[in-house]
Structure 1
Amino acid sequence: MNEKDVLEARLEAILSHIGWLGKFTLRSNIIMFIICVFGAMNIGSTVFLAAKMDHTCIPSEDLTSNITEKCGVNWTDLQTSLISPTKDNKTLSCEMYTLSSLLENTSCTYWTSGVNDTNRSLTTETCTSWEYDQSMYESTIVSDFNLVCGNAWKTSMSQFLLMVGVFLGAMICGIGSDRFGRKTFFAISIVVIIVSAGVSSLSVNYWMYALVHMFVGFGGIGLCVSGYVYVMEITSDKHRVFVGQTLQMTFSLGFVLLSLCGYLQRNWVYLNLAVSLPLIVLLPFYLWFSKESPRWLLSKNQTIRAKRILQIMAKANGKEIDEYFEKPNVHETPLVKPDEPIIIDSSQKNSLSTLEMFRNPTLRKISLILFYNWFVVTCIYYGLTLNATALIGNPYLNFFLSGFIEFPAYLGSSWVIHIWGRRPTIFTCNMISGISLLCMNLLPDDLSILRTVLFLIGKFGSSATFGCVYLYSSELYPTPLRGNGVGICSSCARLGGMASQLIFMLSQINNNLPYIVFGGISALAGMLVIILPETKGSKLPETIEDTEKLYKHRNVTLVKQFVPRPLRKCV
């Protein structure tokens, strides 16, 4: 065996010996964790950058000067409220009476009484300029680029383009980090966020902002993809689940902190810079203290560099690993410990075509259900997250609660999934999300607190499912197809992220329509999961035959998981 083979076989043992609580590992993970928090803040910042603002039509100078001169009144908000028709006791913000009809058909009593007589037969026209209510936001792209009335759809379009950036980033950064290295692409993602956020803050029109800010999504998800893979590769198998879940919570913490930043800085330009420019300070720390993944270096035959980095990690953690680099003699049989995972030859990993997932009936059924579940959970997650400020009430508090609810969702699901099982946990979380979102439609808008509670329960369910579906998917696919299977699932998730913003455009027709769609697709996703087998306590399938055996015994575990013990004999 050459030196590379020895290192690959003993890598898990080396990482376990180095430890994950040492100086190097903690320092690298903490820096990466902080940067990923800012990445999440930049993705989520669109909820405040593109927040809707109440607005009223601005009267023409000809109208104000005529009425002021004719009636001797000082023009105030009272007079402004009289230039537009009303509906359900609310002044319309996209229509106003024409100048000629107001001058010819109104008296001075109309302008001084403050009573908008909707029975008047006055002709109307579409407003061309607006005054924005700055009681909640000083400015957003809505006020700067007049994204109201006929242009209101552009707000959702900017969020859709952000999700397009997330979709492209997930694909390109995944491929790029495999080819050029985890550290390299993590740093590139940081630079992309800094540049795109900075340039978008200088936007002179809507399309410049929307297209440039799309790359914030690219860089933000790039941090997650490269960062997640990196920490998984430098952490021993025993602690990967904990470290992975901790990194996953960067989104939750990022959203919580973003609500505070948004509350303190209500100008969209300064807020955009406030959540992106700190990365300029963090980038040198990351480049100085972090090293490339030794596992990736070994995959690229850079054995000497991988060995040197492992020695740096060990020295920083106060460990000695020289004995692990010694070549085994000819008569030495075990190169790995009994409890250490065996490295599977790459030729065996790629022995099956990706098309086998669709040729084999069992794998096809499993794949389609998983694809749909990944699509749905991401669609609902981003749909609710990026539109939390649309709820009635304080938008900063609503967004804070939307981020905070993810902490118990992730922690609770990670505990329940190991006790109850993967399938019932995902089923229950999907149903909780679906039923709560459907119930929102039964409540009128004036019951805003109850609607917010149901919204948060829906977010809890989608976040909990998010924390489970990755593990479940990786346990259902056989080893030769596991990477490709989870990769396609992830692509479906990104499509769900884009679809979420298109679905929320339905709110322009009816405010409840998005929640009806989200609730329906979530409930369906939960019911479809019942068809899949349980993987708790089962070995990872190595072959397609292993997956088929797992699928054949799904009804046995189904009864155990869902039917109370006294009733099982009746089933």
Structure 2
Amino acid sequence: MTFSEILDRVGSMGPFQYLHVTLLALPVLGIANHNLLQIFTATTPVHHCRPPPNASLEPWVLPLGPNGKPEKCLRFVHLPNASLPNDTQGATEPCLDGWIYNSTRDTIVTEWDLVCSSNKLKEMAQSIFMAGILVGGPVFGELSDRFGRKPILTWSYLLLAASGSGAAFSPSLPVYIIFRFLCGCSISGISLSTVILNVEWVPTSMRAISSTTIGYCYTIGQFILSGLAYAIPQWRWLQLTTSAPFFFFSLLSWFSTGFAYYSLAMGVEEFGVNIYILQIIFGGVDIPAKFITILSISYLGRRITQGFLLLLAGGAILALIFVSSEMQLLRTALAVFGKGCLSGSFSCLFLYTSELYPTVLRQTGMGVSNVWARVGSMIAPLVKITGELQPFIPNVIFGTMALLGGSAAFFLLETLNQPLPETIEDIQNWHKQTKKTKQESEAEKASQTIPLKTGG
């Protein structure tokens, strides 16, 4: 008799399980902030070149760009003659003496001049932070098996406190990036331990509810890299992927969700709205999104819910290409809608994926799936750099990938009201039975189209 069956026999969730979920969920409120921290610590204020030290006291004239606004990355070599029109005439040069920022608030951008040719470093810092989350999974997964879940969870919180403080007081960008990388590793350890403890101590019948509870506290709704440490040595994984190739579509859904999610979550500054208000809206939309997702997966099914959520998110991201930057309200509404769909997609994926994999490989499957979500979130900041070529290119990439992930979800098996598979053979039989049922249904439809013969 399994642990879940014993809990079901004695009444399923009791005071211990509720206390357990609460103690796991409350600390997650803090770690969720780190994933989106750079929205506030790396905002780019309005800026222009600092005049040379030997410049006159007269107002320094700035060259104008193609949009008619002052250039942010160029200045005149010499102050234009007063008789000349105030435009781009005259030789220009890069900002050799730094920049002047129209802001009183310090960020890593103003601290280390991450603008113009150095603005890629800001996106790289976020990407390296996400890489820390990716690396932390197998490291802390192995440690939690050697030393236990509780010690690793405690150590991860201490490491997060130390690395977060170090990032706050970093004297240079390289030091800041190192500490942010360690923050990512510790967050991965916390999330990994939280997921494992949730799976080990909460009965199957209540696992979806408890996972959703933790997901509400962890506003980005993700549990990171559970069971990844076993993904490489368990060669039986090959048997599963060989006999059931449709799991590729599950991984594609995970990748596209993480990829598109962070394109919107980290793009708050791009919509021209107060970033604090918009972030509150972005966080608040998760609550109704998760409620709607729970209702949808309970009545419409996992496959339909997952597919349509990604398709709607991809459509919203692509629609942003055709909306003018002056229409801030419409752009914001599209972004909030897309972000809510992606948040619901994460909630659906965690439940859906745990039901697709058999018990002997469930943690491994969840770990591998989360790897692809983290790869997507790590690549997303780098894709934003392509916006320097054409502003619409990032949205084309993000939206197209979300559409591909949504389309892939429709090739998965439906798990609503189905028993959880225990072994690889159960999955194989399930897949064969589904295929057989589909063939029989098609044959029945075909037989109904054959015209009846008249009697001789």
TM-score normalised over the length of structure 1: 0.70
Change (3 A) 1:472 1:209: same
Q: Does 1:182 align with 2:149?
A: yes
Aligned to 1:356: 239
Cα offset for 1:238? 3.5
Aligned to 2:24: 32
CA contact (8 A) 1:166 1:217 kept: yes
Cα offset for 1:450? 0.8
Amino acid across the alignment from 1:211? I
CA contact (8 A) 1:430 1:462 kept: yes
Aligned to 1:47: 39
CA contact (8 A) 1:59 1:83 kept: no
> Of 182, 207, 228, which aligns to 1:240?
207
Cα offset for 1:545? 4.3
Change (3 A) 1:357 1:545: closer
Aligned to 2:443: none
Deviations 1:493-529 (A, max 9, x none): 2111111111122222233222211110111111122
How far apart in 2 are the matches of 1:450 and 1:14?
Answer: 49
Change (3 A) 1:176 1:142: same
Cα offset for 1:187? 0.8
Q: Does 1:205 align with 2:172?
A: yes
Aligned to 1:60: 52
CA contact (8 A) 1:85 1:91 kept: yes
Cα offset for 1:386? 2.1
Cα offset for 1:416? 0.8
Aligned to 2:128: 161
Q: Does 1:83 align with 2:51?
A: no
Cα offset for 1:482? 2.9
Amino acid across the alignment from 2:81? T
CA contact (8 A) 2:221 2:346 kept: no
Aligned to 1:401: 281
Q: Does 1:194 align with 2:161?
A: yes
Q: Does 1:124 align with 2:92?
A: yes
Change (3 A) 1:37 1:10: closer
Deviations 1:324-351 (A, max 9, x none): xxxxxxxxxxxxxxxxxxxxxxxxxx99
CA contact (8 A) 1:228 1:247 kept: no
Q: Does 1:467 align with 2:347?
A: yes
> Of 56, 76, 81, which aligns to 1:106?
81
Cα offset for 1:558? 8.3
CA contact (8 A) 1:177 1:185 kept: yes
Deviations 1:57-81 (A, max 9, x none): 11122112xxx3xxxxxx4xxx23x
Aligned residue for 1:87, secondary structure, equals coil
Aligned to 1:228: 195
Structure 2 residues without counterparts, runs of 5 or longer: 223-232, 440-447, 450-456
Cα offset for 1:156? 0.2
CA contact (8 A) 2:133 2:187 kept: yes
Cα offset for 1:145? 0.3
How far apart in 1 are the matches of 2:437 and 2:351?
Answer: 18
Cα offset for 1:198? 1.0
- Pairwise CA RMSD of aligned residues? 3.1
How far apart in 2 are the matches of 1:233 and 1:95?
Answer: 59
Aligned to 1:476: 356
Aligned to 2:426: 546
CA contact (8 A) 1:422 1:472 kept: yes
How far apart in 2 are the matches of 1:482 and 1:493?
Answer: 17
- How many residues in Structure 1 have an aligned counterpart in Structure 2? 436
How far apart in 2 are the matches of 1:468 and 1:221?
Answer: 20
Aligned to 1:382: 262
Stretch deviating more after TM superposition (47-56 or 231-240):
231-240
Amino acid across the alignment from 1:146? D
How far apart in 1 are the matches of 2:62 and 2:325?
Answer: 27
Change (3 A) 1:16 1:401: farther
Change (3 A) 1:442 1:218: same
Q: Does 1:13 align with 2:6?
A: yes
Cα offset for 1:127? 0.3
Aligned residue for 1:355, secondary structure, equals helix
Cα offset for 1:43? 2.3
Amino acid across the alignment from 2:272? I
CA contact (8 A) 2:220 2:343 kept: no
Aligned to 1:494: 374
Larger radius of gyration: 1
Deviations 1:4-31 (A, max 9, x none): xxxx856753697597563x55555434
How far apart in 2 are the matches of 1:394 and 1:469?
Answer: 31
Change (3 A) 1:17 1:546: closer
How far apart in 1 are the matches of 2:431 and 2:18?
Answer: 41
Aligned residue for 2:54, secondary structure, equals helix
Q: Does 1:214 align with 2:181?
A: yes
Cα offset for 1:253? 8.4
> Of 522, 527, 537, which aligns to 2:417?
537
Structure 1 residues without counterparts, runs of 5 or longer: 1-7, 69-74, 256-349, 560-568
CA contact (8 A) 1:475 1:540 kept: yes
CA contact (8 A) 2:311 2:406 kept: yes
Cα offset for 1:205? 1.3
Amino acid across the alignment from 2:351? L
Aligned to 1:325: none
Aligned to 1:133: 102
> Of 126, 131, 149, which aligns to 2:116?
149
Change (3 A) 1:557 1:160: farther
How far apart in 2 are the matches of 1:132 and 1:463?
Answer: 35
Change (3 A) 1:352 1:507: closer
Change (3 A) 1:558 1:437: farther
Matches within 5 A, 1:260-299: none
Stretch deviating more after TM superposition (404-413 or 416-425):
404-413
How far apart in 1 are the matches of 2:9 and 2:37?
Answer: 38
Aligned to 2:229: none
Aligned residue for 1:401, secondary structure, equals helix
CA contact (8 A) 2:133 2:374 kept: yes
Change (3 A) 1:189 1:146: same
Cα offset for 1:206? 1.0
Amino acid across the alignment from 2:92? T
